[in-house]
Amino acid sequence: MTDQLVIGGHPFNSRFILGSGKFSLEIVKAVVENGGAEIVTLALRRANHGGEENILDYIPKNITLLPNTSGARTAEEAVKIARLAREINCGNFIKVEVIRDSKYLFPDNYETIKATEILAKDGFVVMPYMYPDLNVARDLVSAGAAAVMPLASPIGSNKGLCTRDFIEILVSEIPVPIIVDAGIGRPSQACEAMEMGVAAVMCNTAVATAKNIPLMAKAFGQAIASGRNAYLAGLGRVLTHGEASSPLTGFLED
C-alpha cells in the first residue's frame, strides 16, 4: 500500500520538508540525502542565479524546490519575490511568508491571505506559513492554498508543539494538507506532530544547530516516518487505571 503526500496534485513519498536557511552550502546535499527529504525550501537571496555561491548548485536535481518569500512584509512584496523565484527556474511551488513582527517573527495572517489569492490565480502551488487560526486557515483554502503551514512555536525557537491544540483543530477541519512549520526542536516532537495526523513536518533550525547535522537529519526523517505509521495504525487507548497484559485467570493453586 502506498501512502503518499499530495500537494497541489504532486505526489511525494517523504513527509519531511527540509528548510535550508541555516546550513552551509557544502553540507546541504548530505543533509537532504540523510533526511530523505524530497522538498527543500530556499530563500531567493541564496539563489544567486549565475553567481559563485548559488544554493541551487548544491541541492540534488531530483528535489522539488520550495522558494519562500522570506523578507516580505506585505502581500505585494511576497508576490514580487514569488514571481522572481519562478523567473530563475525555481518552479511553481512557493511558501508564502509575510512577517512584519521583528521580535517574535509571527506571520501576518491577513497579508498572507491576500498574497495566497494572487499567487494561486497566477498558477503557483501556494503553501502559506500562518499562525494557527481556524478561520484564517479556511480563508487560505478559499484563496487557493494547496497546503496550510501553521507554526508550532516561534521560528528558530526549538520549543516544540506550543500550538498543539490549535493544530489539531486544523487537522480535523481543513481539507488540504496541514504541514507543521517552525519551532519543532526534536525528532520526538516531529513524531508527536505526525501522530496527530498532520501531513508533513518542516524543519530547519533543529537540524542545523545539532552537533552532527547529517545524523540529526536522518533522525528527523525516521521520526516523521514512524509518527506517520503510528497515525495510520491508530494509537492505542489510554486508561486511567492499570490493565494486565495477560488474562488474570488460570493461576496455580496450592
Q: Which residues are annotated as a binding site for 1-deoxy-D-xylulose 5-phosphate?
A: 156, 182-183, 204-205
Is 95 an annotated catalytic residue? Answer: yes
**Residue bearing cell 499530495:** 6
Single out the catalytic residue among 29, 61, 80, 95.
95
Q: How many CB atoms lie within 10 A of CB 249?
A: 6
The closest of 246, 163, 224, 236 to 38, measured between CA atoms, is 224
> Is the CB of residue 43 less than 8 Å from the CB of residue 82?
no
Residue positions forming the annotated binding site: 156, 182-183, 204-205
The 3-state secondary structure of the chain reads: CCCCEEECCEEECCCEEEECCCCCHHHHHHHHHHHCCCEEEEEHHHECCCCCCEHHHCCCCCCEEEEECCCCCCHHHHHHHHHHHHHCCCCCEEEECCECCCCCCCECHHHHHHHHHHHHHCCCEEEEEECCCHHHHHHHHHHCCCCEEEECCCCCCCCCCCCHHHHHHHHHHCCCCEEEECCCCCHHHHHHHHHCCCCEEEECHHHHCCCCHHHHHHHHHHHHHHHHHHHHHCCCCCCCCCCCCCCCCCCCCC
State the catalytic residues. 95
